[in-house]
Amino acid sequence: MDNLHLLPLIFLISLVLTMVGLGGGLFYSPLFLLLGFPPPVAAATSLFLNGVAAMSAAITYWRQKMVDAGTGLALLIASTLAAPAGAMLSPLVPARIYVLVLACVMLLAAARMMVGGPPAPRERDGSSLSRIMYGAAAGLAIGIMAGLLGIGGGIFIVPFLVSLAGMTIKRAAATSTFVVTFSSMSGFLAHVGIHGIDWGFALPAALVCFLGGQAGSRLMITRVSPRVIKRIFAVILVLFAARLLQKVLLP
């Protein structure tokens, strides 16, 4: 109960990140570590809150028919199956080189989103089968990267859905929350059975995350333009790339 003063910050994080297809775990985990949470408890709490925020947003997006469930399920299944392969590859690939290349790619993608570039094309037409195949391809790549780097793959979902499946940024973000809900809760259940969680903090924080997810998803649908969403996501990419570079260059 000592950390309830964090609830306004947690609300803000969930509001902003659910607009771009994430749940907030990118910020929850380091925040909890800085506050002295044991790493396993920080991970479990972060995954729980991430899943609640994403689920809250996904409910709204689903009701608005913005979620491509077939593509999302294909991505989720493929990424889950591919993650162990990435973990097995990690001893064979120099992590320093891989992370440097990945961070540079993320920075280039962020720069392109921030500057704007040419007008975004309309969402590609395509059969449900082709969308599912694109989702599976994205899931394989995301799973391998997540397993190789030992990180969650949520940050990669929206760029892959936009570039591979040809989704608009809003549909990609909505579908991402659907995927993140299941992947986060799966990870949470694996952690909580072993390490436990401070429910006195987690339950009030989960309520705040749910409200933040509702607010963020409704703002994304009615008030926020695709250009703003791209720029928010670009800032998140820069922060994530900087964190990767710090991990490699300043161990």
Token readout for 21 is 């297809």
- The reported pLDDT for the residue numbered 60 is 97
**CA atoms of 174 and 68, how far apart (whole Å):** 8
| pLDDT tens digits, one per residue of 221-231 | 998 888 888 88
pLDDT at 119 over 50: no
**CA atoms of 175 and 21, how far apart (whole Å):** 7
- The reported pLDDT for the residue numbered 116 is 56
Number of domain units in the chain: 1
| pLDDT tens digits, one per residue of 27-55 | 888 788 878 888 888 888 988 999 999 99
**CA atoms of 212 and 218, how far apart (whole Å):** 10
- The reported pLDDT for the residue numbered 212 is 97
Pick from 140, 144, 139: nearest CA to 89:
144
Q: What is the mean pLDDT of the chain?
A: 83
**CA atoms of 110 and 104, how far apart (whole Å):** 10
| pLDDT tens digits, one per residue of 121-155 | 445 555 577 778 888 888 888 878 766 665 666 77
**CA atoms of 5 and 149, how far apart (whole Å):** 32
Of the CA atoms within 13 Å of residue 102, those in its CB half-sphere come to 26
pLDDT at 106 over 70: yes
Residue of higher predicted confidence among 250 and 236: 236
Phi-psi region of 125 (alpha: psi -120 to 50; beta: other; left: phi over 0): beta
- The reported pLDDT for the residue numbered 15 is 94
The whole-number average pLDDT for the span 183-202 is 83
**CA atoms of 89 and 95, how far apart (whole Å):** 10
Contact 65, 181 (CB under 8 A): no
The whole-number average pLDDT for the span 98-116 is 75
SS3 226: helix
- The reported pLDDT for the residue numbered 177 is 92
- Residues 6+ away with beta carbon under 8 Å from 50: 22, 23, 24, 25, 28, 154, 180, 184
Total H helices, total E strands in the chain? 10, 0
The whole-number average pLDDT for the span 211-237 is 89
Contact 50, 184 (CB under 8 A): yes
pLDDT at 207 over 60: yes
The whole-number average pLDDT for the span 220-248 is 85
Range of the domain at 220: 4-249
**CA atoms of 167 and 190, how far apart (whole Å):** 32
pTM (2 decimals)?
Answer: 0.81
pLDDT above 90 covers what percent of the chain? 25
